[in-house]
Amino acid sequence: MTKKLNLKILIPICLLAIISIITIYSASTYTSKSLGNLALKQTMWYLIGSTLVIFILKMKNEYLYRHTTFLYVLGNFLLLGLLFFAEPINNSKCWFTIPGIGSIQPSEFMKIFIMLILAKIIHNFRIDYKNPSLKDEFIFILKTLLIVLIPSVLTFLQPDTGSVVIYLVIYTFMMFASGIRLRWFLIAITLISILLGFILGTYFLNEKLFIDIFGTDLFYRLERIFDWQSGSGLQLENALAAIGSAGLFGHGFNKTPIYFPESSTDFIFAVFASNFGLIGSIILIGIIMYLDINIIKLAKRKIVDTDKYILAGIVGMLIFQQIQNIGMTVGLFPITGITLPFISYGGSSLLSYMLIVGIILNISMEKTRTYKYK
């Protein structure tokens, strides 16, 4: 094992950390004072996250891989506990509130636990079946799908639809990396298309029937998603106004021209774009792409399959969140509450991303070896 850290991963993370803190500081103009100094808190979370990275580097990924089942079960118990014990915040039970510390969102860590457990199952499947039959792959798909559906249902009930979508994106990327036959993806696409066609057809053609079948909760979630098409809503309208008026170089640091809700979280990109304009936005997107490309390059190196599966999940999660968050900010996609990795404010999300950074750095530093799961 070499002791040299991968600077192609570390440098963009450091740049994103700086961008995150200064943008959150700029967003504080329109942030409720009751939330405190979010820029200072984000700095604290980055410092704690850096400590977590050092811990992961010291313990090695194999420590996580050995405790995969425990982490997965723990994550599900935490999700279940939210439904019974968490205090509702904005009509959602997504956070445990810890006095003196803040709120912890288990679904952020569940993303990683899903990656770990799926990597373990895929690894064992490939060891047990060198040339699996269609029946073997079908049983394997059912098993992995159940693993993802359990936390998905618990998270959906909070409700947190955005995290559920991310779980499924992780699952799709990792299953593709597993090497199963492509026909399974074609079958899945067909079935999902039929299901979505039925759901959306009922939603648009017969609202009463839709509510009778699926309930009012799903109806209002879809109603919120499709509101983006009309361009209505304070968030989107004001975010577009802030971005559109920024020009090439923006209004300047800490000069966000207009208020919009969730400026330090969901709509953090709008704050950055309004401050630093088109040029600044291109630089930010360039840094994000540079990080993604280097993670993909790492996955293409000669590393053990377990690490490849993990990296596939990480790449899928990051790229999806980046595209969805920036896309919804500029009105291309529905507003889903999905944050921008490493940029948006959030203790739980940032700690989970820093845990991912530790995993990536370990993979880039360690020689090829075989993991033995217990």
CB atoms within 10 A of CB 245: 13
Give the pLDDT band of residue 332 (cuts 50, 70, 90). Answer: confident
259, HSE (Cβ side, Cα atoms, 13 Å): 6
Q: Is the pTM of this model over 0.85?
A: yes
How large is the average pLDDT for residues 279-297?
97
Pairing of strands 96-98, 102-104: antiparallel
Give the pLDDT band of residue 140 (cuts 50, 70, 90). Answer: very high
How large is the average pLDDT for residues 187-205?
90
Instruction: Output the six-digit token pair for 150.
Output: 């359990």
Helix (H, G, I), strand (E, B) or coil at 267: coil
User: Do 266 and 338 touch, CB atoms closer than 8 A?
Assistant: yes
C-alpha to C-alpha distance for 327 and 95, rounded to whole angstroms: 26
Instruction: Output the six-digit token pair for 274.
Output: 């309004």
Query: Which residues sit opposite 103 in a β-bridge?
Result: 97
User: Do 291 and 13 touch, CB atoms closer than 8 A?
Assistant: yes
User: Do 348 and 45 touch, CB atoms closer than 8 A?
Assistant: no
C-alpha to C-alpha distance for 191 and 145, rounded to whole angstroms: 14
pLDDT at 259 > cutoff 70: yes
Which pLDDT belongs to residue 367? 59
The pLDDT tens digits of the residues spanning 292-325 come to 999 999 999 988 899 999 999 999 999 999 999 9
Between residues 282 and 30, which one has the greater pLDDT? 282
Taken as a whole, the chain contains a residue count of 374
C-alpha to C-alpha distance for 21 and 26, rounded to whole angstroms: 9
User: Do 314 and 115 touch, CB atoms closer than 8 A?
Assistant: yes
C-alpha to C-alpha distance for 248 and 246, rounded to whole angstroms: 7
The pLDDT tens digits of the residues spanning 5-61 come to 899 999 999 999 999 999 999 988 877 777 788 999 999 999 999 999 999 999 999
